[in-house]
Amino acid sequence: MEQLEHILGHSLSSMQSSRQTYHLSKDVDSFYEQQDWSSIQDGTHLSVGYDGKGIPIIRSETDRKEESAVVRLSRGQKKGVKKEATISVSSSFTPQPRSKEQLLESLFLVHKKTDKSELRHQWHEHKHIRAFLSDKTKAIEYGIDNLMKRDATAKKPIIV
């Protein structure tokens, strides 16, 4: 919150941020739909990946009146309540040949460079990341639809 206040130059309360988030969330789909992929020069291959992350939710959003008073949780019982966010990441890349040394280096994380920014692969271009709260099917469909929009010829290999 402090970083956001510093960037915007305004002090915000949690309630203000929450209200604005709910108000602006209606515009998310139209924002992502306006992207014109035909004007972007993608690589020769397309890729898509998914990952799930547990997101703690606010007690007021649950139907529970109060947190459990149980001191010790039973087997399988969770202390908090979480929803799962599914992250969809799509990108393009052009394969690059690597030497045996480069492969071993990447497998065993034997890096001679110390600057982490230099260690990252810069192969993936035009990454597109979007999260979906508690809707895995929509996240997967969105990732596939994004790849279809990127390749009008439907001839580029897709790596999942």
User: Bridge partners of 50?
Assistant: 88
Sign of CA pseudo-dihedral 136, 138, 141, 147: negative
Residues 87-130: tens digit of each pLDDT: 999 999 998 888 888 888 878 765 555 555 555 556 778 888 89
Q: What is the mean pLDDT of the chain?
A: 78
Predicted pLDDT of residue 116? 55
Using a pLDDT cut of 90, give the percent of the chain over it: 19
65 — phi, psi (to 5°)?
-75, -35
What average pLDDT does the segment 47-54 reach?
91
Q: How confident is the model at residue 66 (pLDDT cuts 50, 70, 90)?
A: low
Of 42-56, 69-83, 95-109, give the lowest mean pLDDT range: 69-83
Q: Which alpha helices (DSSP H) does the chain contain, by range?
A: 2-8, 14-24, 28-33, 100-108, 116-119, 136-150
Predicted pLDDT of residue 70? 54
Among the listed residues 128, 149, 125, 156, the one whose alpha carbon sits nearest the alpha carbon of residue 45? 156
Residue 99 in tokens: 């030497």
Q: How confident is the model at residue 37 (pLDDT cuts 50, 70, 90)?
A: confident
Work out whether strand 158-159 and strand 82-93 pair parallel, antiparallel, or are unpaired: unpaired
Predicted pLDDT of residue 28? 78
- Contact at 8 Å (CB) between 93 and 41? no
Residues 5-30: tens digit of each pLDDT: 777 777 777 777 677 777 777 777 78
Instruction: Compute the distance between CA of residue 25 and CA of residue 16 in angstroms, rounded to an integer.
Output: 14
